[in-house]
Amino acid sequence: MELGLVGLGKMGGNMRERIRRAGHTVVGYDRNADIADVDSLKALVDSLPTPRVVWVMVPAGAPTASTIDDLAELLSPGDVVVDGGNSRWTDDIAHAKKLAAKSIGFVDCGVSGGVWGLENGYALMCGGDAADVAKAKPVFDALKPEGDSGYVHAGKVGAGHFAKMVHNGIEYAMMQAFAEGWELLEASDEVTDVREVFRSWQEGTVIRSWLLDLAVRALDDDEHLDKLKGYAQDSGEGRWTVEAAIDLAVPLPAITASLFARFASRQDDSPSMKMVAALRNQFGGHAVESTK
Amino acid sequence: MELGLVGLGKMGGNMRERIRRAGHTVVGYDRNADIADVDSLKALVDSLPTPRVVWVMVPAGAPTASTIDDLAELLSPGDVVVDGGNSRWTDDIAHAKKLAAKSIGFVDCGVSGGVWGLENGYALMCGGDAADVAKAKPVFDALKPEGDSGYVHAGKVGAGHFAKMVHNGIEYAMMQAFAEGWELLEASDEVTDVREVFRSWQEGTVIRSWLLDLAVRALDDDEHLDKLKGYAQDSGEGRWTVEAAIDLAVPLPAITASLFARFASRQDDSPSMKMVAALRNQFGGHAVESTK
Amino acid sequence: MELGLVGLGKMGGNMRERIRRAGHTVVGYDRNADIADVDSLKALVDSLPTPRVVWVMVPAGAPTASTIDDLAELLSPGDVVVDGGNSRWTDDIAHAKKLAAKSIGFVDCGVSGGVWGLENGYALMCGGDAADVAKAKPVFDALKPEGDSGYVHAGKVGAGHFAKMVHNGIEYAMMQAFAEGWELLEASDEVTDVREVFRSWQEGTVIRSWLLDLAVRALDDDEHLDKLKGYAQDSGEGRWTVEAAIDLAVPLPAITASLFARFASRQDDSPSMKMVAALRNQFGGHAVESTK
Amino acid sequence: MELGLVGLGKMGGNMRERIRRAGHTVVGYDRNADIADVDSLKALVDSLPTPRVVWVMVPAGAPTASTIDDLAELLSPGDVVVDGGNSRWTDDIAHAKKLAAKSIGFVDCGVSGGVWGLENGYALMCGGDAADVAKAKPVFDALKPEGDSGYVHAGKVGAGHFAKMVHNGIEYAMMQAFAEGWELLEASDEVTDVREVFRSWQEGTVIRSWLLDLAVRALDDDEHLDKLKGYAQDSGEGRWTVEAAIDLAVPLPAITASLFARFASRQDDSPSMKMVAALRNQFGGHAVESTK
């Protein structure tokens, strides 16, 4: 089939390559003319047979919203837009509504895979009407990993990004699980070879997993992680996961603890612990001296 | 009545003074001869009429255990030892058993009040047999604050220190509550006078409390707590509280979060967040570069 | 002064009474004609001298928004609207903007006090321009408790409800602190009189507070809380507090734990613990039997 | 080699089988004569060539301690005892000391694998002196899974059980991660096929893992886990993990949240939430009625 692909950055560029390897035609557009196949969004739309399928792979938020606004003007009834970026699922519902007013379909698609995706395939979670999903199905098949899993039509519009968001929330807590275990082993006097403990877990244990494999790779590179600072960004999906949980009154203690650990990792000093120190100072023995 | 008091440090010294102001006789012993009334534990015991009441106010752990060992040799059947230190409640049970073998009674007494106790009185939580508690009751009455509360016979041996331990666990979470709220207010763009917000809460709110009063005192001294580092020790009772909860299968999420926040406050860098950073590095875009 | 008051429910009715006791004139309007002083919002506006001060005390969300829409039509430049309801602080900013377009001032005011407020006064936290706050100041003085605290001009528009929201977040964690401590004491074999332990803490301890006093009242009424189900609603402010923290990247472990404990308290069974049970079943000894 | 194996229950019996398949001789003793190879511990010891290796696979605590006491009497200098049960690592240190007094070696070995171990191999984490570990190495090789991992000499005596304990702590938090994510997906209106979302994650995602595979198996059997109660036991290692963290001042928020979620899952009603409800009742609108 022929696909229009908007956004050819690290992710989009690799995805174009993987789709082409599967034998499909991809017309890619990017603001950076050096990597684009056409020089405008209009040229991209004009080059595709109808019903068109246009995959949007640009940053979430304003860039995605404005791309969808532009496509709403350029596309025809019966075409389908797939948002494969990291949009918040609540945005999907607004985007679908805008396109539906012009009889253009919308599918949201959460994509996992990072730099490994070109070779191993991308896990895809999509949401939308079955008819719209069907139009893009050959692309999903090209992008997904080999085997029975790696792709799901999760439900209504928004379900794809919702599922991807929850995937990332789970990922946060799994990373935190390994991180806490590693810190505890490193603190032990008895355990003298923590790296090899991690390596041993790769077979036969309950916790064997790709993240464990990555942890072993990291420890092979830097046994005590001395080269790294204990500083972790968060990408947004962790926050949205907790916010969705609050909306739905679902308790998420481990995932939220993982998010808060990242927030704390970025503070030079903890304001809240200043207040704890201040209160200890007030009622403890040094109170009298320091408040005079 | 006449009381023997072992340990005349910051707490013990002030307690001797408060008991004397109530009209009782206190014979105090301390390793520091400058502040002691007698020059040996034996002299203290010999100076008291029977049945004797000896209050032990020395550091928890080995010092308390060895003092009780010595008293077991020196005292007579029918005498009572009160441990007013910060002993773990599980130690009380061992101490009571050792003294019971010589027909000497034992009362554990958790004491709250810090530097404010001399003037305001000390909150007392004790555990033991009613007959033993009765022998020390005049001292409890002298030490406790004015009014109906501030003293309780909480239950069996160990109950006093258990209750005091839980008091401190609650204290940890209350301090954390104010600390989190303060940090959030300081982070807000809208709220420009956080100190006055705290002050306003001292009357008419659900959260009015002595800890809030102390927070206002601290902020009056140093509005943004710039002089303090976000570093908080823990005294042991917080840890014991969580350990008791684990033994009894009681979930304590807020108290434990408060304890862990203190642990984290004392780390220069977080080992667990190094691992999170390492894992992010492995599966994110920089993985290929950094692990080659 | 003369004040217009919209909303005469449990809170608004008591506030009208307290303001009148302070010697001011209050014209109250409510959809319920039985308790209203005038029969329309227009009549309320017409009855007030300019510059008018109208206090809105209706449910947060749509009712408050539509009342402010109506007042934007009825009021004159220089008048001031005070929103004393439980609005989210982000709503305030929208409301202020709408009124500003007509040169009408806006002050948001978080109110604490509940059923005790009529007698003891209401703690007030307000946000807005100094000139607008000044116009309503006599009412704030009438409503606040006696003494130096109980009222604050916390900052810009939104700061009042933000401060009140944080107050409630702190309240959640303080309640959770006492609740966890109570559960642990009740689980102990040693402590046989938990109610009296709580009573004893009312004087001389670090944790003495109004919430502790309320806990003692509750235990006096029902020593082991047998009449109650462990089911707790949340009013919205706890959720908003955590959401604000996520926006500002502030870790709030204890407050969030308290919110999640309420969510969990309302579940008949825990879906997440079904999954934990299912996983234990899969890898444990019973797996073979149950999955055949 | 020849191995003595004490304890032939579900785990021990399968391990005997796997060791025999590897070509070694196993002499098994069990209190249940129907499954034992010899009729006493003495007969087991007498049947082995020196230096003997005896693997203890009985319940942790008193049964393991008394078996080790008996072996201390029966074995000879240079023999080695391996404790493959779920002992707490602190017990190992006491056991090693007792055996060392008779010049008998001790190796602690944490074993993971459950019912899958016979076919797939058991992950092994051991601690002790290199010379003692070497004597049992052929057995470790027989039990471990194929491949480079699945076995580690983690450090000193206690390190094996410490590492296994941390493995289980990590396992708790990973299970909780999937459980929280599953609950959130099930609560969503958009996601209509949660089971297939889980299945899709098995390839190409960051969270692919054996536990995820087990979750899919469980959902294939019972799509919404309707047959299960949200009730989860804990085996002890989770508690020990948190206790070790408290000893070492290591914050473990996600692992501890997972443990507390299990505690809560076993309560018919939450005592702490009764107290929260009581406090809400006291300061809310119903306070006056219910406390009169």
Q: For residue range B172-188, list pLDDT tens digits in order.
A: 999 999 999 999 999 99
pLDDT value of position D115:
75
Task: Tell whether A115 is within 8 A of chain C (Cβ).
Answer: no
Q: H helices within chain A, ranges in order?
A: 10-21, 41-46, 62-74, 89-100, 117-120, 130-143, 159-187, 194-200, 210-221, 237-247, 253-265, 271-283, 287-291
Of A206, A251, A260, the CB nearest to C263: A251
Angle between helices D89-100 and D159-187 (to 10 degrees): 170
Q: Return the residue of C nearest to D262 by Cα.
A: C273
Tell how far CA B195 is from the center of its chain.
28
List the single best residue of D15, D149, D220 to mutate versus A (max A Cβ within 10 A): D149
Contact between chains at D261 and C278 (C-beta distance less than 8 A): no
* Sheet containing strand B151-155, strands side by side: B25-29, B2-6, B53-56, B80-83, B105-112, B123-127, B151-155
List the single best residue of B148, B209, B247, B260 to mutate versus C (max C Cβ within 10 A): B209
Contacts of B244 (CB under 8 A, 6+ apart): B89, B162, B165, B250, C184, C188
Burial annotation B102-111 (CB, 10 A radius, 16+ → b, else e):
eebbbbbbbb
Report the alpha-carbon distance of residue D88 to residue D73 in Å, rounded: 23
Report the alpha-carbon distance of residue B233 to residue D281 in Å, rounded: 36
Chain A residues whose CB is inside 8 A of the D202 CB are 149-150
List the single best residue of B174, B206, B255, B260 to mutate versus D (max D Cβ within 10 A): B260
Chain A residues whose CB is inside 8 A of the C266 CB are 249
Window A:223-282, CB contacts with D under 8 Å: 241, 244-245, 248, 250-255, 257-258, 260-261
- Mean pLDDT, all residues of chain C: 95
Tens of pLDDT, residues C177-227: 999 999 999 999 999 999 999 999 999 999 999 999 999 999 999 999 999
Q: Which of D171, D180, D203, D289 is catalytic?
A: D171
Residue type, C79: D
| pLDDT band at B284; cut points 50, 70, 90 | confident
pLDDT(D254) > 70? yes
| pLDDT band at C288; cut points 50, 70, 90 | very low
Q: Which of B164, B186, B243, B292 is catalytic?
A: B164
Higher pLDDT, A227 or B287: A227
Chains that touch A (3 or more CB pairs under 8 A): B, C, D
- CA distance, residue B33 to nearest chain C CA (Å): 31
Task: Tell whether B169 is within 8 A of chain C (Cβ).
Answer: yes
Tens of pLDDT, residues D168-223: 999 999 999 999 999 999 999 999 999 999 999 999 999 999 999 999 999 999 99
Q: Are B131 and B157 in contact (CB under 8 A)?
A: no
Window A:10-69, CB contacts with C under 8 Å: none
pLDDT(B292) > 50? no
- CA distance, residue D26 to nearest chain B CA (Å): 38
If you average pLDDT over residues A85-106, what whole number do you get?
97
Higher pLDDT, C241 or B115: C241
Tokens (6 digits) for A100: 């539906």
Q: Are A183 and D250 in contact (CB under 8 A)?
A: yes
Bridge partners for A151 per DSSP: A124
DSSP state of B7: -
pLDDT(A288) > 60? no
Question: Which long-range CB contacts under 8 A does A141-145 form with residues at least 24 apart?
Answer: A141/A22, A142/A18, A142/A19, A142/A21, A142/A22, A142/A23, A142/A24, A143/A15, A143/A18, A143/A19, A143/A111, A143/A117, A144/D203, A144/D204, A145/A120, A145/A121, A145/D203, A145/D204
- CA distance, residue A25 to nearest chain C CA (Å): 42
Of B239, B251, B257, the CB nearest to D264: B251
- CA distance, residue A284 to nearest chain B CA (Å): 6
Report the alpha-carbon distance of residue C275 to residue D232 in Å, rounded: 9
Q: Is D42 a catalytic residue?
A: no
Angle between helices D237-247 and B237-247 (to 10 degrees): 170
Q: Which of C135, C144, C164, C237 is catalytic?
A: C164
Contact between chains at D233 and C282 (C-beta distance less than 8 A): no
Chain D residues whose CB is inside 8 A of the A189 CB are 156
- Mean pLDDT, all residues of chain D: 95
pLDDT(D269) > 50? yes
Helix (H, G, I), strand (E, B) or coil at A45: helix
Pairing of strands B123-127, C2-6: unpaired
Window A:69-108, CB contacts with D under 8 Å: 89
Of C246, C261, C264, the CB nearest to A242: C246
pLDDT value of position C284:
74
- Would you call B173 exposed, middle or buried from its count of C-beta atoms within 10 A (0-12, 13-18, 19+)? buried
Of B159, B202, B255, the CB nearest to C180: B255
Chain D residues whose CB is inside 8 A of the A258 CB are 253-254
Chains that touch C (3 or more CB pairs under 8 A): A, B, D
Chain A residues whose CB is inside 8 A of the C252 CB are 260
Angle between helices A237-247 and D159-187 (to 10 degrees): 60
Q: Are B270 and A260 in contact (CB under 8 A)?
A: no
pLDDT value of position C291:
33
DSSP state of A49: P
- Would you call B52 exposed, middle or buried from its count of C-beta atoms within 10 A (0-12, 13-18, 19+)? buried
Share of chain B above pLDDT 90, in %: 91
pLDDT value of position B285:
52
Tell how far CA B255 is from the center of its chain.
15
Q: Which of D17, D164, D203, D292 is catalytic?
A: D164
Q: Which element (helix H / strand E) includes D62? A: helix D62-74
| pLDDT band at C289; cut points 50, 70, 90 | very low
Tokens (6 digits) for C206: 């670090």
Contact between chains at D260 and B252 (C-beta distance less than 8 A): yes
Tokens (6 digits) for B177: 């509550």
List the single best residue of D252, D260, D266, D280 to mutate versus B (max B Cβ within 10 A): D260
Tokens 């959401």 identify what position?
C243
In 3-state terms chain D splits into helix, strand, coil percentages (rounded to 5) of 55, 15, 35
pLDDT(B291) > 60? no
| pLDDT band at C148; cut points 50, 70, 90 | confident
- Mean pLDDT, all residues of chain A: 95
Q: Is the dihedral of CA B88, B91, B93, B95 positive or negative?
A: negative
Tens of pLDDT, residues A32-77: 999 999 999 999 999 999 999 999 999 999 999 999 999 999 999 9
Nearest alpha-carbon partner for C234 in C104, C90, C86, C28:
C86
Contact between chains at A279 and B222 (C-beta distance less than 8 A): no
Contact between chains at A253 and C242 (C-beta distance less than 8 A): no
Tens of pLDDT, residues C86-106: 999 999 999 999 999 999 999
Tens of pLDDT, residues D221-241: 999 999 999 999 998 999 999
Nearest alpha-carbon partner for B153 in B168, B131, B174:
B131
Bridge partners for D83 per DSSP: D56, D108
Q: Return the residue of B nearest to C199 by Cα.
A: B149
Report the alpha-carbon distance of residue D5 to residue D55 in Å, rounded: 5
Report the alpha-carbon distance of residue C45 to residue C4 in Å, rounded: 7
Contact between chains at B283 and A114 (C-beta distance less than 8 A): yes
Helix (H, G, I), strand (E, B) or coil at C165: helix
Q: Return the residue of C nearest to A273 by Cα.
A: C251
Tens of pLDDT, residues B74-100: 999 999 999 999 999 999 999 999 999
Angle (nearest 5°) at CA B46 between B45 and B48:
70
Longest dimension (CA), chain A: 81
Contact between chains at C242 and A239 (C-beta distance less than 8 A): no
Helix (H, G, I), strand (E, B) or coil at A30: coil
Report the alpha-carbon distance of residue B246 to residue C184 in Å, rounded: 10
Q: Return the residue of B nearest to A220 by Cα.
A: B291
D110: phi then psi, degrees, rounded to nearest 5: -80, 135
Of B239, B257, B264, the CB nearest to D246: B239
Of D243, D253, D266, the CB nearest to B260: D253
Polymer length of chain A: 292
Tens of pLDDT, residues D125-146: 999 999 999 999 999 999 999 9
Contact between chains at A248 and D124 (C-beta distance less than 8 A): no
pLDDT value of position D113:
78
- CA distance, residue C258 to nearest chain A CA (Å): 10
Tokens (6 digits) for B124: 């007392």
Tens of pLDDT, residues C240-286: 999 999 999 999 999 999 999 999 999 999 999 999 999 999 887 54
- Alpha-carbon Rg for chain B in angstroms: 24
Chain B residues whose CB is inside 8 A of the C259 CB are none
List the single best residue of C235, C248, C260, C274 to mutate versus A (max A Cβ within 10 A): C260
How far is CA A157 from each of CA A20, A96, A129, A130, A140, rounded to the nearest angstrom?
27, 7, 7, 10, 16
Tens of pLDDT, residues A201-212: 999 999 999 999
Chain A residues whose CB is inside 8 A of the C88 CB are none
CA atoms within 13 A on the CB side of C124: 28
Contacts of B126 (CB under 8 A, 6+ apart): B82, B107, B108, B109, B110, B133, B136, B140, B151, B152, B153, B154, B159, B160
Task: Tell whether A174 is within 8 A of chain C (Cβ).
Answer: no
